[in-house]
Copies of this chain bind each other. A is one copy, B any other.
Amino acid sequence: MNDPQSDNSFAAGAAYIDGRYMPIGQAAIPITDWGYRRSDVTYDVVGVWEGNFFRLEDHVRRFRSSMRKFRFEPREGDEEIKSVLNRCVALSGLKNAYVAMDCLRGRPAPGMPYHPVHARNYIAAFAIPWVWVMSPEVQKRGGHLITAETLRIPADSVDPTAKNFHWADLTRGQFEALDRGADFALLLDSEGNVTEGPGFNVFFVIDDVVLTPDAGVLEGITRKSVIEICGDLGIPAKVSKVPAAEARAADEIFLATTAGGVMPASRIDGRIMGNDRPGPISMKIQETFWAKRAKGWHATPVDYAAVAAVV
Q: Are A133 and B115 closer than 8 Å at their CB atoms? A: no
- Contact status of A71 and B175, CB under 8 A, knowing A28-B30, A169-B157: yes
Please report the C-alpha to C-alpha distance between residue A172 and residue B152 in the assembled complex, in whole angstroms: 18
Contacts of A207 in B (CB 8 A): none
Stretch of A35-43, A78-86, A278-286, A294-302 on the interface side: A35-43
- Does A132 touch B at the CB level, under 8 Å? yes
Please report the C-alpha to C-alpha distance between residue A153 and residue B102 in the assembled complex, in whole angstroms: 23
Number of chain copies forming the complex: 2
Q: Are B126 and A167 closer than 8 Å at their CB atoms? A: no
- Does A9 touch B at the CB level, under 8 Å? no
- Does A290 touch B at the CB level, under 8 Å? no
- Does A77 touch B at the CB level, under 8 Å? no
Nearest CB to that of A17 among chain B residues? B31
**Residues of chain A from 1 to 33 with CB closer than 8 A to chain B in the complex:** 15, 17, 24-25, 27-32
**Residues of chain A from 26 to 61 with CB closer than 8 A to chain B in the complex:** 27-32, 35-40, 43
Q: List 10 A-B contacts (CB under 8 A).
A: A27-B31, A29-B31, A29-B36, A39-B166, A40-B171, A113-B135, A114-B132, A115-B178, A166-B166, A190-B190
Closest 3 CB pairs of A and B: A28-B28, A38-B167, A39-B39
Q: A31-B124, A116-B171 are in contact. List 14 more A-B contacts (CB 8 A).
A: A25-B30, A27-B30, A32-B128, A38-B170, A38-B171, A39-B166, A114-B135, A150-B156, A150-B157, A151-B154, A153-B153, A153-B157, A157-B157, A158-B169
By a beta-carbon cutoff of 8 Å, the part of chain A in contact with chain B is: 15, 17, 24-25, 27-32, 35-40, 43, 70-71, 102, 105, 110, 113-117, 124, 126, 128-129, 131-133, 135, 150-154, 156-158, 164-172, 174-175, 178, 190
